[in-house]
Chains A and B, each alone.
Chain A
Amino acid sequence: QVQLQESGPGLVKPSETVSLTCTISGGPISDYYWGWIRQPPGKGLEWIGYIFLSDTTHYNPSLKSRITISVDGSKNQFSLKLSDVTAADTAVYYCTRRGYNDVWGRGTLVTVSS
């Protein structure tokens, strides 16, 4: 059974870059789309983007200039980098599998504050 686990810094300062990693256990990183979704406290879900086989990415245009999603196949991990963060980026960040998000990590809270 595939499981996902997010990891990240928790607290970042405005204008900095936050890096999050999703570790996949119980299955290979190949053959599936892997994505990121975020949820500000008390609010709804926002799709960030996905990656497939290291070289195919789709990003939400609202974030496109600030995000990079990459894969490290040797570690069975994929990552999200979000640059120039503001308070509006404060959210729980989830990593997921497939376009219809059949597997989710438990999420990691990223708080942007000075």
Chain B
Amino acid sequence: DIVMTQFPDSLAVSLGERATINCRSSQTVLSRSLNKSHLAWFQQKPGQPPHLLISWASTRESGVPDRFSGSGSGTDFTLSISSLQAEDVAVYYCQQYYSTPYTFGQGTKLEIK
């Protein structure tokens, strides 16, 4: 199984500041044929299902604010929130969908400082 490790486990950032969450996979999730990494980012607020923010490591989903961006390739990935808003408080997960069993990171809890 591919193990997904996120860091940090929790993060406190001031409103308007940048938040950065990292995710590392134990094996590459880069498809050479597609030249894309099979990596997704989700946001989960209390009592709600996860919400897809980013697919293919850097493709923002329709309707997702452009302050959210994803980067990275192969085994190392980053989710950035350029200017933190109060509504961004949530738990964030990365997930690889390169090979089954698909696996998630343990989650990063983002709070306001």
Contacts and interface: CB of A to CB of B under 8 A. Distances in A.
Interface in A51-70: 58-62
B104 A44 contact: yes
Contacts of A99: 38, 97, 102
Given A99-B38, A101-B50, A107-B49, A45 B55 contact: no
A102 interface: yes
Contacts of B104: 44-47
A102 B55 contact: yes
Residue picked from B48, B52, B105, most chain A C-beta under 10 Å: B52
B97 A104 contact: no
B97 A100 contact: yes
A94 interface: yes
Contacts, number: 54
Contacts of A107: 49
Interface of B: 1, 38, 40, 42, 48-52, 55-56, 61, 93, 95, 97, 100-107
30 contacts: A44-B104, A44-B105, A44-B106, A44-B107, A45-B93, A45-B95, A45-B107, A46-B104, A47-B95, A47-B100, A58-B100, A58-B101, A59-B101, A60-B100, A60-B101, A94-B49, A94-B50, A99-B102, A100-B38, A100-B55, A100-B56, A100-B97, A101-B40, A101-B42, A101-B52, A101-B95, A104-B49, A104-B50, A106-B48, A106-B49
